[in-house]
Structures are given as C-alpha cells and as structure tokens.
C-alpha cells in the first residue's frame, strides 16, 4: 500500500505510548519519525551544560542567543545528536527529565523547536509525536491522532518499565507523578496540551500495538480512498 506524502501528528498525555506507536507507524509506512520531546530534552541538556538553568529551574535569558549555536539532529537509527555528538542516553537521564518541563514552558524555546521540526519535516512523509504538534506546530497535518489511556493503565506501564530497568518503584508514586504531569502539560500558558478539533481519538488502554497499527492504517485508507 503506497501512503501519500502526508504529515501525521500524534499528541497526547505522558506515557500513552505515543513514541512506540509513532515509531511503528514510521517503520510500516516508510516515514521519517521526529521525536519533538527529544528536542526539548536536547535544549535542556544544552542549558544545563552551559549553566543556563539553575537548580531551582530559573532559566537564564542568555539561553535565547545561545540557541543559535545548537544543532540537533536524528541519526538513521533515530538516536539524537547535538552536532556530531550522540546525546541519546544523556537526554533520557533523570537529570534532564527533571528540568525539561520548565524549559519546555519557555516561549522562545518552543519557537526554536518548532522551527527545527519544520526544517526537518519539509517534504512530508513524516510522523511526529508530542504535545502540541496537531494544534500549534503542524495545524495542517493531514492526519492527527490524540492518544489517551486511563491514568491507572499508564501508571502500570510506567511502573513495569521502571521495574524492568531494575528500579524499585512504588505504584502510588508513579500514578501521582503521571497525574501531576497531566495537569502541568495541560495547564501551562505556552501551547498547552489539548486535543485538536479535527484529531482522531485513540484510547489504547485495551489495545495491542498490532490493533493500533490496523486502526491507523484503516484511517489513512479511508481518508485517501486507498484500497
Ligand atoms: O515526550 P517526552 O517525555 O520526551 O517530552 C519531554 C518534555 O517535553 C515533556 O515535559 C513535555 C515537553 N514537550 C512539549 O512540551 N511539547 C512537545 N511537542 C513535546 C514535548
């Protein structure tokens, strides 16, 4: 099945499986996958290494000009690079995770990330995941998906992930963290998380990845009249 040169935007709450789903769609459709969260994480690491964010999350206004020298890209295997340096592991660390929210709330950082995404997505055939792709970054994306799953299901998934990595998570804490992040993501001033009016909802609480793929394939076929 030949999929047209479209842009697919996948937004939703934390731990709904957006990136796993977006990667699967990219592989099956032969699309490029762009991880917008990785760009916010790369800016966070950059700010930390240059001392442009303090321990209490105050962002130095010097970050704005400093961003001119930051070049982030994705390798063929999807790993994140800053110039020639692979930063994939560092951007997933707790240190970066703990300061990415205040960085992502800065309007000029959001503009910088949006410009990056537009450069990378030129020509289409891309699938992107994030919080505001279908509402703010690519409001004209041909297919928009808004992913949800119950907080309990998401907490269970996150709990299993942390336990598999050898941690000793407490389910109630994981659940509380998910609920807190839902609140912050949907209540911040700059591009809060919300479902675009023309987004298709996907509640994957009780779905397998194969079912999710069949769902979006059907959606694309229906929209473009592909048999
Ligand atoms: O998806 P993630 O956990 O890698 O995202 C990291 C952070 O970046 C998260 O706190 C939300 C923020 N983010 C955002 O504000 N807008 C996006 N389009 C993607 C991520």
Mind listing the domains of the chain with CATH numbers? 7-224 (3.40.50.300)
Q: Whose CA is closest to atom 2 on ligand 1?
A: 37
Report the pLDDT averaged over residues 116-126.
93
205 backbone φψ class: left, alpha, beta (φ>0; ψ -120 to 50): alpha
In testing the pocket of ligand 1, which one of 130, 139, 141, 185 has its CB within 8 Å of the most ligand atoms? 130
Give per-residue pLDDT as tens, 36-86. Answer: 999 999 999 999 999 999 999 999 999 999 999 999 999 988 899 999 999
Going from the Cα of 18 to the center of ligand 1, the distance in angstroms, rounded, reads 11
Q: Is 34 in the pocket of ligand 1 (CB under 6 A)?
A: no
Query: Cα–Cα distance between 10 and 90 in angstroms, integer?
Result: 24
Tell me the mean pLDDT in the region 3-16.
92
Q: Are 146 and 199 in contact (CB under 8 A)?
A: yes
User: Residue 46's pLDDT is what?
Assistant: 98
Segment 207-220 mean pLDDT: 95
CB atoms within 10 A of CB 25: 23
How far are the Cα atoms of 9, 12, 201, 220 from residue 147, in angstroms, in the given order?
Answer: 11, 5, 6, 16
What dihedral do alpha carbons 212, 42, 183, 148 form, nearest 10°? 0
Q: What's the chain's Rg over C-alpha atoms?
A: 18
Instruction: Output 2 or 54, whichever has higher pLDDT.
Output: 54
Q: Which pLDDT belongs to residue 3?
A: 86
From the CA of 104, give the closest atom in ligand 1. 15
What pLDDT, on the 0 to 100 scale, is given for residue 116? Answer: 97
Residues recorded for the chain: 227
| Interval between CA 104 and ligand 1 midpoint (Å) | 7
**pLDDT exceeding 70 applies to what percent of the chain?**
100
> What pLDDT, in 10s, does the model give residues 142-154?
999 999 999 999 9
d(CA 50, CA 197): 40
**How much is the pTM?**
0.91
């Amino acid at each position: 099945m030949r999929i047209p040169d479209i842009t697919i935007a996948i937004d939703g709450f934390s731990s709904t499986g957006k990136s796993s789903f977006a990667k699967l769609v990219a592989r099956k459709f032969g699309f490029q996958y762009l991880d917008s969260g990785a760009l916010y994480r790369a800016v966070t690491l950059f700010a930390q290494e240059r001392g442009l964010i303090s321990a209490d999350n105050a962002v130095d206004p010097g970050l704005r000009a400093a961003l001119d020298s930051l070049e982030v890209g994705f390798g063929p295997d999807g790993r994140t690079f800053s110039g020639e340096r692979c930063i994939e592991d560092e951007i997933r660390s707790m240190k970066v995770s703990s300061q990415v929210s205040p960085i992502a709330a800065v309007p000029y950082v959001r503009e910088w990330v949006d410009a990056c995404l537009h450069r990378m997505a030129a020509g289409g055939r891309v699938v992107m995941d994030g919080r505001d792709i279908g509402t703010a970054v690519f409001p004209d994306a041909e297919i928009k998906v808004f992913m949800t799953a119950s907080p309990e299901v998401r907490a269970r998934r996150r709990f299993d992930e942390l336990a598999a990595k050898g941690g000793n998570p407490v389910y109630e804490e994981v659940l509380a963290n998910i609920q807190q992040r839902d609140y912050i993501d949907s209540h911040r001033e700059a591009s809060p998380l919300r479902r675009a009016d023309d987004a298709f909802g996907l509640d994957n609480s009780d779905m397998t990845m194969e079912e999710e793929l069949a769902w979006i394939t059907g959606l694309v076929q229906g929209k473009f009249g592909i048999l």
